[in-house]
Structure 1
């Protein structure tokens, strides 16, 4: 009940009035029954705008720490994330990926919509990165359809590394449901898992019109950090050399 209050009475109308998000293909999402919504991930605001465009609740997984805090802050945090469609990752297996899969299966088993970001993390530069095969495993093990989703413009509203950005009208596009029943029983075949994941990512790329990079986003972020460090070192060395040259010229004069 709090979820509906949060979505329609509190945050929902405010986001609609201020940002006026545009929606295309919402009728591709089943009006009832389980489905996986596989989306690109540009900003922490994605999970606010995408569910806002649908009449049904969309559930995502979140860190368990958001649900176990104490005191007033802990209660507010738990209430917010629970009410906005988040569920804690089930880590009873000791594996975060397996825990997320277990949580997703529970949501889908109850006939719900489960939202997932196959890239595993936000894109740091606006490009679309290689999808992890968890989405394929989930689709094959549950037999539910996958609806590809593209969210555009949220990285302008809330850029990576910043809490606030600038104004734009976010766009949410829902593609036609993808049926992978032809691969039933092959959920442990890594080549099939990769093929299914790539098919999903292709549809997301087509909807989002992002440049695709055949590299995991986490690896790309690490490389970007390494390049930034190398650049900072090179700039510091150039400044030191320039200063040394200036000192030498002063001494000579």
Structure 2
């Protein structure tokens, strides 16, 4: 028989918006139920409204942890990628979102944390401690992260260079990173619009990549970002 140990919640001393913003936030029963209801309704709505065309679904890992990375043109992107994953994983799938967009106001932060299960990260100048906490959570708790390495939505629909933060998360680890390309999201829901248009979108999923061979330093991080960007560009060309 295993010894019983007390493991207090990592966010037990945090309240309100600070808890929503925390990278050590834990999920309670109420949030889990809300998320289940949301995804039970949202998946059929996405299928009707956007009729997603999915290529390469067989490349999605069958077990956690892993990371999905993609181009980023719309608020629709994270929702579409999360919809690919089992509802039973709803408390383990974390879209990584800009803290200055989704976590500035109490109501927006509560929605992002409770319904979307988003993790807040600084868009610019993320602290080493923040990235290390995310890396620890990814590997220790076997989570799934959805990350947009460009750092912000494109205002033109064109893809920008991937930043090195993704490399800092996975260098010298065996965590799979799955490149994805989203097509049509910019037309369906571009920045500045309040609601999406009923247009079909496409999701292309590539084979998982691992980066155990990459050095955990600036050169390694930059190399990972470039390799992942090249994989997404290849998917766009298919």
TM-score by length of 1: 0.69
Contact 1:22/1:170 (CA < 8 Å) preserved in 2? yes
Aligned length: 200
Contact 2:49/2:199 (CA < 8 Å) preserved in 1? no
Pick one of 60, 63, 69 that aligns with 2:95.
60
* Deviation at residue 135 of structure 1 after TM alignment: 0.6
Contact 2:172/2:213 (CA < 8 Å) preserved in 1? no
**Corresponding residue for residue 195 of structure 2:** 164
| Root-mean-square deviation over aligned CA pairs | 2.7
**Corresponding residue for residue 96 of structure 1:** 126
**Corresponding residue for residue 14 of structure 1:** 45
Distance 2:74 2:164 in 1: 21
Is 2:140 the counterpart of 1:109? Answer: yes
**Corresponding residue for residue 116 of structure 2:** 84
1:1-253 equivalences under 5 Å are 1=32, 2-8=34-40, 10-55=41-86, 56-57=89-90, 58-63=93-98, 66=102, 74=107, 77-89=109-121, 96-98=126-128, 100-105=130-135, 106-140=137-171, 142-164=173-195, 166-183=197-214, 186-188=215-217, 190-209=218-237
Change (3 A) 1:80 1:121: closer
Change (3 A) 1:182 1:80: closer
* Deviation at residue 163 of structure 1 after TM alignment: 2.2
Q: Deviations over 1:110-138 (max 9, x none)?
A: 11111111111111111111110111111
TM-score by length of 2: 0.73
Matched position secondary structure for 2:54: strand
Distance 2:178 2:212 in 1: 14
Instruction: Write 1 or 2 for the structure with the bigger share of helix.
Output: 1
Change (3 A) 1:64 1:170: same
* Deviation at residue 45 of structure 1 after TM alignment: 1.1
Distance 1:156 1:103 in 2: 35
Please tell me whether Structure 1 or Structure 2 has the larger radius of gyration of its CA atoms. 1
Change (3 A) 1:97 1:130: farther
* Deviation at residue 5 of structure 1 after TM alignment: 1.6
Change (3 A) 1:166 1:54: same
* Deviation at residue 170 of structure 1 after TM alignment: 1.0
